[in-house]
Structure 1
Amino acid sequence: MSTKSALATITGKSSYWFLHNFLKGGSSFPGKVAERIDPDILKTLANGYDVVIVTGTNGKTLTTALIVKVLQQKYDGILTNPTGSNMTQGIVTAFLAHKKNKNGKKLAILEVDEANVAPICRYIKPKAFVLTNIFRDQMDRYGEIYTTYAKILDGIKLAPEATVIANGDAAIFASKPLPNPTIYYGFSTEDDHRDFKANVNTDGVLCPVCNHILHYHELSYANLGNYFCPNCGFHRPELAQKVTQILEKTPKHSKFMINEQTFTINIGGTYNIYNALAAYTVGRFFDIDPVKIAQAFAYDEKVFGRQEVISMADKELTLILVKNPVGLNEVLNLLNNETDDFSLAVLLNANYADGIDTSWIWDGDFEHLPFDKIKGYVAGGERSDDIAFRLQVANVPEDKLNHVQGMAPVLDAVKDLPTKKVYVLATYTAMLQLRKALASANLIKEGF
């Protein structure tokens, strides 16, 4: 280790210790400090680690957490970035904060922002990439889905020996030839003799080879499924690991079969079954026994904004992060599985981390909400006017809609809702603000 690297490491670790112990933070700033001293510090810190990079639009945080749980069945001291700080400074901070496992395998499972895959791969040569999906998201920053994938490919091309573990149901991931070994996972729960098209408003359904409209034998959600092009013959690749049957779905858990074995995860939504399937595929890549994987999935621990349940007086708040049309619509579908009466709060911000363009909320299918079961609504966040108007257009009754600004008023409004169950959908910075307000009210601990 050079003198510069040593100084960067000591300074970064000291910064993390102070921020973590006294301010309950420090998820990215220590990395920024260390990089300022030594721009190449990540290469030094990651030396000797087997690294798995998890990237894509939706599902990175939970997929990363599930992979860690799965690999903990075999390995100790796994390094990860559980705060979701997934740009270069956050990755550096994760290494600075990690207490090394001196006797075991040095293994790092890292959630990485799509645009940061290439910058990180300049210093780290990962053992594997895990690709979840690509949907329209923060178009002011990423552009269309093809430019997002191009950013990811720029990183993969820097590590041609790494195995790519990709969602085979996403056509874009099979659209470019790669020198890397590739493993695909996906759903195979329907008769593959059907022939139909996705909904007309679905993005990413043009054949990436000839631009003809893709057809499907099976469609799980959005543009994910068993696709084929009747024009040029492009089709879904062979799946190494597959969900073969969905046995039960509720807002709180899902039961399904992978390769004819039953698994349960304590979180709802078809999209989370994909996250579990990705983690299963990584587990098998590392030779984890399927029985051990099932045990890892059964562990009930929620991660930031992914169906966390918070008790507040007589209320049970379920916090769900939303950030783009596909993710939002999957959450709205999840609400349709709720059997009890509930209330709904939607908190909208438009800061850099959220995406400054809020037009995506108009692609959300709020019109399909189970209105008969929702007894009260709250519209909040820095862009509360926008989300309140969107709910009004979706025919939310005005006498049931409470439009507030600021997080303290949101908590007061939630307390006044008529049901015990309250689902709170929030964009990223709105979720941070909400959690800060909950911490100030001594309802949760500060930080993550």
Structure 2
Amino acid sequence: MSLKSSLAITAGRFSQWFLKTFTNGGTSFPGKLTLKLDPEVLKTLAKNYEVIIITGTNGKTLTTALTVKVLKNKYSQVLTNPSGSNMEQGIVSAFLSNKKAKNGKNIAVLETDEANVPIITNYITPTAFVLTNIFRDQMDRFGEIYTTNNLILEGIKKAPQATIIANGDTPLFNNLNLPNPVLYYGFDYQEEKETTIPANTDGLLCPNCQHVLHYLKHSYANLGQYYCPSCDFKRPKLTYKVTSIHKQTPTSSQFAINGQPINLHIGGTYNIYNALAAYAVGRFLNIQPQKIAQALSENDEKVFGRQEVINVDGKEVTLILVKNPVGLDQVLEMISTTPNTFSLAMLLNANYADGIDTSWIWDAQFEKLPLDKITNVITGGERVKDITFRLKVAGVPSQKLQTASDLKNVIEQIKTAPTKDVYILATYTAVLQLRKELISQGYIKEG
């Protein structure tokens, strides 16, 4: 280790200790400080680690969390960035806070922002890349999905020996043109039936000839068993696949992967994909299917902002991160299966981490809200006027709408909500701000 790296790491770890001891902490500042002192510090920090990079539009945080659970079957310690701080400074901070295993291999499972994949692979050569999906997201940063895909590919090209574990139901991931070994996962439980999907769906064009793709099986958005009627492009052979789905509720999913039963204590079809990706990583690293199923079936605390359940004066408040139309539509579909009446809150911010372009809320299908089950709707956040107007256009009656001036007001309205169950859908910085307020009021523990 060079003197420069040693000083940078020491300063970073001291700042991390100071923030955790005397403030509410900070996931990225220690990394920023360390990088300022040594821009190439990741080379030193990641030395002797086997690294799995998880990237894509949706599902990175939960896939990372589930993968860590699976890998703890084999590794005594697994380094990760659990808070979702997935840019270079956040990844550096994760390495700063971790102690290497005394025995056995050191492994890191890193959620990585798509635009940061080529930055991270300047300094780290991963064992595998896990690719979740590609949808429109943060248009101000990424533009269309092809830009996002190219950023990921740029990073992968720097590690040609790394195995790619990709969602085979995503058409763009079947057109990689890379020397890397590739393993595909996907859904394969439905009967084949010619299916049409909306013409404005992201990624609906064949990557080879630009013809509109057709589907024999369809999960949601651009995911499914696709084929091109104009050329030989079709979904690749799947190594790991969901072979059956038995039961889904807002808080659980029962399904099988390659015949192995899984009982996941989190709802949503999109989260079955996340569990499938974690399963694929486990099998890639030679963990037995039964051990993987056991890890995925453990009912422990929910991941930060991903169906995290918080008790607020007797109200069961479920906090869910939303950030783009496809993800929001899946969340709306999931909460629509709730058997009881419930209250709904929608918090919209437009900071850099959220995406400053909020036009995506007009692509989300708020018109499908189950208004017969929703007693009241609370709107808040820094762009409260935008989300309130969108919900009015979607048909939410004015008498059901409550506008909150700030997050304290949101919490007060939750406390007086007429239902026990409350769902809060919030963009990234709104999740952070709300959790901070809930911590200050004693509803969530720090950390």
The question of a shared fold, defined as TM-score above 0.5 by the shorter chain, is answered with yes
| Structure-to-structure mapping, 1:421-432, within 5 angstroms | 421-432=421-432
CA shift at 1:43, angstroms? 0.2
Superposed CA deviations along residues 56-111 of structure 1, whole A, max 9, x for unmatched, are 00000000000000000111111100011111111111101001112121100000
- Name the CA distance, whole Å, in 2 between partners of 1:305 and 1:186: 25
So what's the TM-score if we normalise by structure 1? Answer: 0.98
> What fraction of aligned residue pairs are identical, expressed as a percent?
62
CA separation in 1, counterparts of 2:246 and 2:83? 32
Aligned counterparts of 1:410 and 1:191: Cα–Cα separation in 2: 45
Contact persistence 2:195–2:218 (CA under 8 A): no
Range that drifts further, 57-66 or 361-370: 361-370
| Alpha-carbon separation, structure 2, partners of 1:315 and 1:201 | 39
* Matched residue SS, 2:164: strand
Q: For residue 378 of structure 2, what is the aligned residue in structure 1?
A: 378
State the alpha-carbon separation in 2 of the partners of residues 113 and 272 from structure 1.
19
1:169 paired residue number: 169
Q: Report if the CA contact (8 A) 1:185-1:281 is conserved.
A: yes
The alignment partner of 2:232 has SS state of: coil
Tell me how far apart the structure 2 counterparts of residues 67 and 315 of structure 1 sit (CA, whole Å): 31
Alignment partner, residue 148 of structure 2? 148
Q: Which amino acid aligns with 2:398?
A: E
- CA deviation vs aligned residue, 1:350-400 (integer Å, no higher than 9, x gap): 011000111101111111111111111101101011111111111111111
**Partner secondary structure for residue 9 of structure 1:** helix
What displacement does 1:314 show? 2.4
CA contact (8 A) 1:256 1:263 kept: yes
Distance in 1 (CA, whole Å) between partners of 2:74 and 2:158 is: 29
* 1:288-342 Cα deviation digits (max 9, x unpaired): 1111111101122211110010001121100000000000000000011110110
RMSD: 0.8
Matched residue, 1:200: 199
Give the 4+ runs in structure 1 shifted more than 3 A: none
- Residue 310, structure 1, aligned to residue 310, structure 2: yes
What is the rounded CA distance, in whole Å, between the counterparts of 2:176 and 2:258 in structure 1? 27
Q: Is the 8 A contact 1:335 1:369 kept in 2?
A: no
Question: Residues of 1 paired with 2:279 and 2:176: CA distance?
Answer: 25
2: distance between equivalents of 1:309 and 1:26?
A: 23
> What letter matches 2:26 in structure 1?
G
2:65 corresponds to 1:34: no
Counterparts of residues 117-156 of structure 1 (less than 5 Å): 117-156=117-156
Q: What does residue range 109-120 of structure 1 map to in structure 2 within 5 Å? A: 109-120=109-120
Render the CA deviation track for 1:5-41: whole Å, top value 9, x for unaligned: 1101111111111112221322111111111111111
1:51 is matched with 51
Counterpart Cα distance in 1 of 2:198 and 2:415: 39
CA distance in 1, matches of 2:279, 2:77: 20
Residue 298 of structure 2 is aligned to residue 299 of structure 1: yes
CA distance in 2, matches of 1:438, 1:176: 44
2:284 maps to 1:285 = yes
Q: For residue 401 of structure 2, what is the aligned residue in structure 1?
A: 401
- Per-residue deviation, 1:156: 0.2
Q: Give me the TM-score of the superposition, normalised by structure 2.
A: 0.99
Question: Could you tell me how far apart the structure 2 residues matched to 1:343 and 1:215 are?
Answer: 38
Q: Is there any run of 5+ residues in structure 1 with no aligned partner, and where?
A: none
For these two proteins, the number of residue pairs brought into alignment is 446
CA distance in 2, matches of 1:20, 1:174: 44
What secondary structure, in the 3-state scheme, does the structure 2 residue paired with 1:107 have? strand
1:102 & 1:170 partners in 2: Cα distance?
A: 40
Structure 2: give runs of 5+ residues left out of the alignment.
none
The one-letter code sitting in structure 1 at the alignment partner of 2:318 is T
Partner of 1:64: 64
Residues in 2 aligned to 1:146 and 1:380: alpha-carbon distance in whole angstroms: 32
- Tell me the SS of whatever aligns to 2:307: strand
Aligned to 1:220: 219
For residues 102-133 of structure 1, the C-alpha deviation after alignment (integer angstroms, 9 at most, x for no partner) is 21211000000000000100100000000000
CA distance in 2, matches of 1:404, 1:2: 53
How far the C-alpha of 1:261 sits from its partner, in A, is 1.6
Q: Secondary structure at the match of 1:355?
A: coil
Letter in 2 for 1:126: P
State whether residues 382 and 405 of structure 1, in contact with CA within 8 Å, keep that contact through their aligned partners in structure 2: no
Q: Distance in 2 between matches of 1:245 and 1:102?
A: 41
Q: Is the 8 A contact 2:20 2:26 kept in 1?
A: yes
Maintained 8 Å contact 2:342/2:375: yes
